[in-house]
Amino acid sequence: MSIYGIRIGVRMKNNLVVGDADAIIAQANSDDSNHNEAVKIAQGLVDSQVNVIYPATAVVEAVTHIQRALNSGATAYGTAELMINPAVQVVEVNKQTLTNAQKYFSPNSSKKNTLFDCVVAAVAEEYKADAIFSFDKFYKSKGFKLASEL
């Protein structure tokens, strides 16, 4: 079984990808404009046995968006349940991660490029990730590769 770029119960062994909230949301919401592409990318990550990790903040951001903006408590709950599955790798965000995120964050940042995004970038840097699973061009502008490019 696979969802969110994760093959449940199978250890990933190759590249490392950091998942962002928009990838989680796109997979969970069939009405999302990136849904089909997100599912395709996720399946490609599974097929290639790519290890996908999610910052805890990305999970919380995605579930909150699904619950509030998409008004889907059931989907939000289901997504949260999936993310606590032991096979899903959710990584902690600590003070050092926040400190590292500051270099990607500025007072002049677009309102679309939030501290959440900067934390994902910091986690990708800390874990030396090969790519970020996102549709946000912010990451490309900061020198990261997107999962769609793997």
Pairing of strands 6-7, 2-3: antiparallel
Give per-residue burial for 97-121: e unless 16+ CB within 10 Å, then b.
beebbeebbeeeeeeebbbbbbbbb
Question: CA-CA distance, 106 to 28, in Å (whole number)?
Answer: 30
Q: State both tokens at 81.
A: 């349940």
The pLDDT assigned to 115 comes to: 96
Q: What is the separation of C-alpha 12 from the centre of its chain, rounded to a whole number of angstroms?
A: 16
Q: Are the C-beta atoms of residues 1 and 8 closer than 8 Å to each other?
A: yes
Topology of 2-7+14-149 in CATH?
A: Rossmann fold (3.40.50)
**Do 6 and 46 meet the contact criterion of CB atoms below 8 Å apart?**
yes
Q: Give the pLDDT confidence of 6-62 residue by residue, as tens digits.
A: 544 443 446 999 999 999 999 999 999 999 999 999 999 999 999 999 999 999 999
Say if CB 23 and CB 133 are below 8 A apart: yes
Residues 92-128 have pLDDT tens digits of: 999 999 999 999 998 888 888 899 999 999 999 999 9
